[in-house]
Structure 1
Amino acid sequence: MVDAPPTTTSSARPSPRHLTPAAVAVGFTVLCVSYMLNAMDRQVFYPLLPEIRQEFGFSLDQGGLLATGFTLGIALAGLPAGYLMDRLSRKSIVVMSVLIYSLGTLAIPLASGFVDMSVYRLVSGVGEGMQATALYAIVGAFFFHRRAVAAGVVGVAFGAGVFLGPLVGNRIAAAWGDWRGPFYVFAAAGLVVALLIAVGVRRTMTESVTGTTASVSDYGHVPASPFNRNTLGIGIACAVSGLVFYGFLGLYPTFLREHLGFGAGQAALAVSFSGFGAMMALPAGWLGDRFNQRNLLGLAFLATSATATLTYQYATSAPAQYVLAFLMGAFASGFLFTNCTTAMQRAVRPEHVGRGAGLFMLTYYVAAAFSGLLFARLVDAFDWGGAGLWQLTVLPALGIAGLALVDTGRMVVPRRTDAG
């Protein structure tokens, strides 16, 4: 039923032949819930940033770096985690990663200043990066020919977390009377989720290599090295996607509150709408399994640019911003994120699927780490409208240029009979 795994890991890669549909459903649901919490954990910081800046006296530069700098931890965890996923138990690493980012979250309200808060955010990012790398490696291996659809389901879970995180966090902060409350609650939730993964997810699912014997019939057309022209081109697109989406997320609530005069609840709701838009990852993944992903990504970049133009140049009312936040989430997260991560995995051979996941994490999140600082600097130089123009409207053209390097004829192509 399954391919023989590498000889160095044969004992660590059980066959999925005895895994029942119910076990698959339970395991995949738990993994998606864990990633939803991951997203909620990330998103809770953004709408609370104005209160954090006010208490500590952080500048806009410092706030922007704190908002998105944690993704450097995600990036640093990505490539080595990708190697580990090909060699060690992915389930163990997922459990450990949830514990790590929960501890980082717990430490954030205990910070005394910019330096230690930055360290705690970085620790959170390391755990979140390990989990995401392992999760996408599991999805890419177990749902081999339906990986974009499966990744789309994961993207829906992420979008649900982006939607719920600001709303729940804002409610907890209001009830608590302090911005620290949500971080304690989400840290405790992480401990519960780690236990659910340990109990509810089977290693038969997490340690699968490719899923079916037919899935590795012939990949001679795919470059033997995971470091090739296609991964370079897709890597450029991933980096631009990270700069755009996290540049938007990191300071968008600050833009709404300090520039457009929105209230805290309105800003949190607008960010939540971007999470609702990110749930479009499911149809985005479905399309990615059926159409040329290079062209799909190019169209998503163009749509993101158009949405950013309206967001930062024209829209001033709350309803308009809610709609545009939804569209930004749909294009910059639902379409770009989902198809960038699966395209990177399709640019490598099946035995390097974990490495492909790591390459995505590295390229996407290194750029994302500095997106908030870059946006803040652009605000200082050109005001909010100019910052939105250069980073979110013009920059996607570089992503399209990177896609010009991609040769889809040298990538793994999903079978139409397996894609749905």
Structure 2
Amino acid sequence: MALPISAGVVAPASPLSRVSRVFPWVVFTLTFGLLLSDYMSRQVLSAVFPFLKEEWGLTDTQLGSLTSIVALTVGILAVPLSLVGDRWGRVRAIVVMAVVWSLATLGCALAAGYGHLLASRLLIGVGEAAYGSVGLAVVLAVFSAKRRASLTGAFMAAGSFGSVLGVALGGVLATHFGWRWAFAVMGIFGLVLAGLYWAMINERKLTAHKIDDGVESGPSLAAGEQRARLATLFSTPAVVFAYLGGGLQLFITGSLFAWLPSYFNRAYDMAPDRAAKVAALYILIIGAGMVVCGMITDRVGQTRPVGKWTVAIVFGALTLAFLGAGFAMQPGGPQKLLLAVGCFFAAGTTGPTGAMVARLTHESIRATAFGTLTFFNNVLGLAAGSLVTGILADRFGLETAMRYVPLVAVVAVVLLIAGRQTYPSSIRRLEPATVADAPNGDPA
């Protein structure tokens, strides 16, 4: 029986209300930490490229394949494994994935040659395949939809920050202890975080803290449906353009992640450990840009939701302008400055495209929707960027190859423009009532 509260007397906060304010940030912190581990395990390879090239005599195409095999595996398996996460339980899926990629990273430390290392890298991709999509679905479920682009940008920025740690720490470890220790440390770190996640987060707590504030909550389910149909993942032109435009823009990011250490090593004649540290700074700038661009997107989208597409288009155009000019210049201070600005915007579309995919798909299959986005991000973006750049580097040299990379932003911008044009009609197709209710007549 509920007890009445006298006028002027404030009821003390219940333990649940206190936990409600803290638990979402616990979820974000640990899920963010595992994505750090994910990319530390993935990108530490870039720091040891010079060591592998010298010890095993690998070509740039082979080095690029060691990077792209992870992203390609992630892309191929993202959707089916994200679907498993939606059905089997997101927390259990996250812990199992983290254990798999961590053990596979330890396997890299034991590799006896290119074939063994390639197989271990493939297993890393199996473990990481659905982590970004399932992890992001977990995070967005316990926060207001008003923060969607900011949280998406901040969460996915863990990829850049993890790459920074992987490249910088990997370069130091490889120089002082040998390249095998670089992989071993990353694997141990992932196993520790997986144990913490299992101890502190479970499905019951996630359900108790789930937020449904009715703001851009996604399309409604048909009467009698408990889960949206998988066909709705591609039910509107706008969501397809978000997949394609966001994925192609990350072609540039994938190339930068994989090849910046080698670029500074060759173009500036830096030692491998110093080149790794300098490249890590630029990758850190990419991560900072993802966070800031996501915040800008949410601010613009509060009054004009279609503006989220506009800012994504602007971010892509700025990437083309600054990276294109930077890689066309001779090595030196001005080039470094232009590359820094271009890196800031290179992955700025991540927040906007993630927010659009969330808006255009239902929460019940959101991990699968983000898995679909992950497929395009990896197959068109991260996998293609590292491999194609490696092939071009073998033929024309790495400095020349990097000059071609920013041109992919042209196609990405065209696709995002198409997405902006089709967004209003896509929203009307999903929920006709939202158009009349939206401010300034824009779809919500």
Q: Distance in 2 between the 1:17 and 1:336 partners?
A: 35
Corresponding residue for residue 401 of structure 1: 414
Corresponding residue for residue 117 of structure 1: 117
1:251 to 248, 259, 277: 259
- For the structure 1 residues 65 and 25, does the alpha-carbon distance in structure 2 shift closer, same or farther, using more than 3 Å as the test? same
Q: What is the TM-score with the length of structure 1 in the denominator?
A: 0.85
Contact in 2 for aligned 1:77/1:130 (Cα 8 Å): yes
Further displaced range: 68-77 or 344-353? 344-353
Corresponding residue for residue 166 of structure 1: 167
Corresponding residue for residue 104 of structure 1: 104
Contact in 2 for aligned 1:300/1:331 (Cα 8 Å): yes
Contact in 1 for aligned 2:60/2:393 (Cα 8 Å): no
Q: Does 1:266 align with 2:279?
A: no
- How big is the shift at 1:82? 2.5
Corresponding residue for residue 389 of structure 2: 375
Gaps of 5+ in 2: 1-15, 222-227, 301-306, 440-444
Pairing 1:6-405 to 2, within 5 Å after superposition: 19-145=19-145, 146-176=147-177, 178-204=178-204, 206=206, 211-212=211-212, 214-215=214-215, 219=219, 225-227=232-234, 228-277=236-285, 278-291=287-300, 292-317=307-332, 320=334, 323-324=337-338, 326-333=340-347, 335-367=348-380, 368-390=382-404, 392-405=405-418
Contact in 1 for aligned 2:316/2:346 (Cα 8 Å): yes
Gaps of 5+ in 1: 1-15
Q: Distance in 2 between the 1:66 and 1:23 partners?
A: 38
Q: Distance in 1 between the 2:208 and 2:73 partners?
A: 27
Encode CA deviations 1:145-199: one digit per residue, 9 max, x unaligned.
Answer: 12212223323433332222222222222331x1111111111111110111011
- How big is the shift at 1:63? 0.9
Q: Distance in 1 between the 2:167 and 2:339 partners?
A: 13
Q: Distance in 2 between the 1:220 and 1:166 partners?
A: 44
Opposite residue 339 of structure 1, the aligned amino acid is: P
- How big is the shift at 1:209? 9.8
CA RMSD of aligned residues (A): 2.9
- For the structure 1 residues 208 and 326, does the alpha-carbon distance in structure 2 shift closer, same or farther, using more than 3 Å as the test? farther
Q: Distance in 2 between the 1:301 and 1:75 partners?
A: 22
Opposite residue 282 of structure 2, the aligned amino acid is: S
Q: What is the TM-score with the length of structure 2 in the denominator?
A: 0.81
Contact in 2 for aligned 1:91/1:207 (Cα 8 Å): no
- For the structure 1 residues 127 and 320, does the alpha-carbon distance in structure 2 shift closer, same or farther, using more than 3 Å as the test? farther
Q: Distance in 2 between the 1:208 and 1:308 partners?
A: 45
Contact in 2 for aligned 1:312/1:384 (Cα 8 Å): no
Encode CA deviations 1:363-403: one digit per residue, 9 max, x unaligned.
Answer: 1111222322211222344433442232x222111111211
Q: Distance in 1 between the 2:299 and 2:205 partners?
A: 25
Opposite residue 364 of structure 1, the aligned amino acid is: N
What secondary structure is seen at the aligned counterpart in 2 of 1:112?
A: coil
- For the structure 1 residues 220 and 57, does the alpha-carbon distance in structure 2 shift closer, same or farther, using more than 3 Å as the test? same
Opposite residue 311 of structure 2, the aligned amino acid is: L
Corresponding residue for residue 12 of structure 2: none
What secondary structure is seen at the aligned counterpart in 2 of 1:118?
A: helix
May I ask how many residue pairs the two structures share in their alignment? 397
- How big is the shift at 1:66? 1.1
- For the structure 1 residues 207 and 104, does the alpha-carbon distance in structure 2 shift closer, same or farther, using more than 3 Å as the test? farther
Contact in 1 for aligned 2:297/2:352 (Cα 8 Å): yes
Corresponding residue for residue 5 of structure 1: none
- How big is the shift at 1:42? 2.0
- How big is the shift at 1:53? 1.7
- How big is the shift at 1:252? 2.0
- How big is the shift at 1:97? 0.8
Encode CA deviations 1:218-271: one digit per residue, 9 max, x unaligned.
Answer: 836999722131222112212312321112221222222123312223311222
Opposite residue 296 of structure 2, the aligned amino acid is: L
- For the structure 1 residues 220 and 130, does the alpha-carbon distance in structure 2 shift closer, same or farther, using more than 3 Å as the test? closer
Contact in 2 for aligned 1:256/1:262 (Cα 8 Å): yes
- For the structure 1 residues 220 and 192, does the alpha-carbon distance in structure 2 shift closer, same or farther, using more than 3 Å as the test? closer
Opposite residue 345 of structure 1, the aligned amino acid is: A
- How big is the shift at 1:284? 1.5
Q: Distance in 2 between the 1:371 and 1:205 partners?
A: 39
Corresponding residue for residue 6 of structure 1: none
Give the percent of matched residue pairs that are identical in Structure 1 and Structure 2: 20
